[in-house]
Structures are given as C-alpha cells and as structure tokens.
Amino acid sequence: MKLIDIFSNDFPVYTHYIMGDNAILSNSSIFRKSYMPITHRELPSEIAKLNDKNIKSLLMFCKRYGDFGYEDNIEEINFSPKIDWIWSHVNTVQFILTLAFHLQQKDERNIKRTIMKYCDYNSTNHKINFSTSVKFKASIKSWSYNEDLSFLAHQILNDIVNENISSVKRIVNMKKDGIFKKTFIFETLFEVTYWLILDAVEKCEIRKCDQCNIPFIINNKRQKFCPKLEFQSESNCALLYRQRKRLEKLEENVD
C-alpha cells in the first residue's frame, strides 16, 4: 500500500471581497485560486500587521489569502466571517507571536510587559477571543509573583494555541488504486496560523523584523525582515529598510 502524507486542505480565494453587515462578504461566483495556507509561513506576521483602523488592508489580505473562515460544505455556503471574531483573533495572534518571540529571547522584562498589556482588557476594543480569555484570566490569577514568569508565559501560550487548534481534524482517505492519503483538515485561516506559530516556537524560528518590528517566522537563518509575499521579488520591509538607510546616509553627508 502506498502512503501519501498531505499536510492540509486547500482554501478558496475569490476575486472580490467587500465589507457587508459587520462581516466580510466574497463574490463567490468568481473563483480566483485555491491554495494550501499551511505552506505560507508569512501568515502569522501578515495577520499581526492588520489593524481595525485600516479596513482596506483587511480586504487586500482577503484577496491574497481568502476570507478567514473556510466554507467547507454546501450548508455553510452563506457563512461569512464576522468582523468582531476576526479582530479578536488578530489581537490574539499579535499577542502570542510577540509573547513567543520574547520567550525565545528569554527577555523577562518584555514577557512581563506583553502579558500586562493584554491583561488590561478594558483598554482594548477587540479583546482576545473569549473562550481563550477565560483560561488566560485563570492562568494570570493562579500565578504568584514568586513563580517563574516564563512558566506563566508558556502556560498562556499552550492554553491559547491548544484552544484554537482543537477543531483541526485528521482524516485518512483510501483511493481505488490503493493509495492511502492522510490529511489534516483546517477550517479557518486562524487554525492554520496558530499551528504555524506552534511549529515555529518548537523550532525557535521567530524573529523580529528590523524594519517594522513585528515578529515573523523565518524561512532561513539569515533572514532579517518580514518574508516577501508570493508575487514579490523582495520583501516590502527589506526595500523600505534599504531606502531608509540610503536617506540617512545622504542626510549625514549633507551635515
């Protein structure tokens, strides 16, 4: 029997996305492509760059990666990801990516700062997603100041990732020709994102971009900037950094 390990399912991308009634709507009659998001290691940092003041960049994101919820079957064809659900996950991704980076650096001061920032629930409009935040609060409550801070951070990271990948399924598929396929089924882009972060934490592959300061998952050990996107020859941040350095040098020469 031949065995094939297919890591994940494909996600659909349509040509057009608009903001509907508190949700993202796709023009599902025009299909653009399907792709396997698990192979896109830039997903966590691209999600971490989104912010609720810039809806245009959110819609641009959807044009590249599809909307955040996966329309898995015909019954769910009218499912549109609600905007509050999206922002709560964007917040959560920003939080755990930053926390994972500081943990990797063993930077106690910034671990504490990151946890405290997100503890302040009343100061953010879009809190981290609800089921997670209950556990998160419990972890903080049970933590005493004598305990190792990185222990608490690991516990929070575990709780959040586990909670958010709990719906990922693994299926096997036996074809007529005797080929046996094993596949992980992800239903939302966020599940894929948390999975990618978990993998990167395990392999110590999170770094902070020299230009925009957002943590990202590296593709190679020398990488200093956020990864380039599929259609780009160079990453935006690498380009901006070079331009900035050139300008600084020119200004120095003028002085």
| Residues in touch with Zn ion (CB under 5 A) | 209, 211-212, 226, 237
Nearer to Zn ion, 91 or 211 (CB): 211
One DSSP character per residue, 51-116 reads -TT-HHHHHHHHHHH--SB---SGGGTT---BHHHHHHHHHHHHHHHHHHHHHHHT-HHHHHHHHH
The token pair that represents 120 in the structure block:
């302040």
- Please give the Cα distance from 246 to 237 (Å, whole number): 14
The token pair that represents 131 in the structure block:
């089921």
Nearer to Zn ion, 166 or 220 (CB): 220
Nearer to Zn ion, 13 or 237 (CB): 237
Name the minimum Å distance from CB 240 to Zn ion.
8
Nearer to Zn ion, 111 or 209 (CB): 209
Name the minimum Å distance from CB 213 to Zn ion.
7
Name the minimum Å distance from CB 221 to Zn ion.
17
**Under the phi-then-psi rule, with left for phi > 0, alpha for psi from -120 to 50, and beta for the rest, what region is 90?**
alpha
Name the minimum Å distance from CB 57 to Zn ion.
14
Name the minimum Å distance from CB 236 to Zn ion.
7
Name the minimum Å distance from CB 97 to Zn ion.
12
- Please give the Cα distance from 215 to 226 (Å, whole number): 8
**Under the phi-then-psi rule, with left for phi > 0, alpha for psi from -120 to 50, and beta for the rest, what region is 185?**
beta
- Please give the Cα distance from 110 to 181 (Å, whole number): 44
146 — phi, psi (to 5°)?
-80, -20
Nearer to Zn ion, 168 or 212 (CB): 212
Nearer to Zn ion, 19 or 240 (CB): 240
